[in-house]
Amino acid sequence: MIVEANTVRFDSISLDSGATLAPVDVAYETYGRLNASKSNAILVLHAFSGDAHAAGISHEKGKTGWWDNMIGPGKAFDTNKYFMICSNVLGGCRGTTGPGSVNPATGRAYAMSFPVITIGDMVRVQRMLIDWFGIPRLLSVTGGSMGGMQALEWAVSYPDRVVSAIPIACTTRHSAQQIAFNEVGRQAIMADPDWNNGDYYGGKPPARGLAVARMVGHITFMSDDSMREKFGRRLRGKETFGFDFDVDFEVESYLRYRGSEFVTRFDANSYLYITKAMDYFDLTNGHGSLAAAFERTEARFLAISFSSDWLYPSYQSQEIVRALRARNCDVAYVELESNYGHDAFLVDVAEQTDLIRGFLASTVEKAP
């Protein structure tokens, strides 16, 4: 399945901060076919460092999409049945307008003059895209991690536009620990002199700071157990300790590689803006309580969490479930056993597939 990225431009958007952004480009991909009644569309929402390329092989780079094991013919999100849409988030660096985009007012990259955005703003842009498609209601909105946060925001902000939601490994608001990990990443970037207050476009990006930020991220994506299984205390290409500060352990080599590889595909300022949006996200904002936030929600829900995920622990998904049950909403919840930590939603897909396939089938059956 060779897929192509598309871009649509919208005139402007009003943001939660009060600022206006104009214009806004949105990069997106689609898989499968929209049916005549436009009732089979599912919006897939990517996690922090993801992009619009969720499935298939990209026309440009030949790269497989980040959720290709979940989206395609016969897969959990069966493209023989459903029309899948995935767009890069506002503030991103993979086609949608973000801090690295050119500000038409100055002819230069926005950099840190880009307005601070929220998960609500991201979803507002997605709604413009769904309107542009002429889709009255999405059969489902789904994603893991920050993608799940967007799915929740959709269900709360546009209750009449979503039939169902599948938030995976996510939360209604970041805990102090989650904010803390994001803040460390931001500080690592801003501590790099090459960051230069965000003005590095066309020059040398803050590669070292961004790499350190990503290394921290990778530790939080895995579980203690999965790191033990994958690396243990194995040495990298040597029989004994080097007694120097080169790589000794496999896990050090892995982190350094992941850090430096990330720099080639992600913009440091997008790191700052997107983590900030995640930290600001609080579904109770403007509602007072979670139950109140869900008051107008009509969607049915499938919430999924993973037993070894300590970055978005199961108790956070259970908070969603309790609040929905308190509003008498239709919600199913499963904590899947997995060793993969937070990464599980991307890699441990067998049970996830069964759950989602069944949930979507019953959603179609029950759809008004």
The residues carrying an active-site annotation are 145, 309, 342
Least CB distance to its own copies at residue 186 (A): 7
Closer to its own copies by Cβ: residue 31 or 280: 280
Q: Is 246 helix (H, G, I), strand (E, B) or coil?
A: coil
* CB 238 to its own copies: min, Å: 13
Alpha helix ranges (H) inside the chain = 119-133, 146-157, 176-191, 207-221, 224-230, 250-263, 268-280, 290-293, 314-326, 344-347, 350-366
Nearest-angstrom CA–CA distance, 137 and 38 = 8
* CA 240/CA 166 separation, integer angstroms: 48
Pairing of strands 108-109, 140-144: unpaired
CB-nearer residue toward its own copies: 135 or 251: 251
- Residue whose CB is less far from its own copies, 218 or 287: 218
For residues 120 and 136, give the distance between their C-alpha atoms in angstroms, rounded to a whole number: 19
User: Exposed, middle or buried by CB within 10 Å (0-12, 13-18, 19+), for 11?
Assistant: exposed
Binding site for its own copies (CB under 8 A): 17-18, 112, 115-116, 173-177, 179-181, 183-184, 186-188, 190-193, 208-209, 211-212, 215-216, 218-219, 222, 224, 227-228, 230-233, 241, 243-245, 248-252, 255-256, 259, 272, 276, 279-280, 282, 310, 313
197-to-21, 111, 191, 193, 344 alpha-carbon distances in Å: 21, 8, 10, 8, 35
Q: By C-beta, is 102 or 191 nearer to its own copies?
A: 191
CB of 318 to its own copies, least distance (A): 14
Residue with smaller CB distance to its own copies, 34 or 190 = 190
Instruction: Report yes or no: 144 and 168 within 8 Å, Cβ to Cβ.
Output: yes
DSSP 143-165: EETHHHHHHHHHHHH-GGGBSEE
What CA–CA distance (Å, rounded) separates 130 from 162? 11
> Assign residue 232 a region: left if phi > 0, alpha if psi is -120 to 50, beta otherwise?
left
Contact call for residues 55 and 1 (beta carbons, < 8 A)? yes
What DSSP character marks residue 282?
B
Of 137 and 173, nearer to its own copies (C-beta) is 173
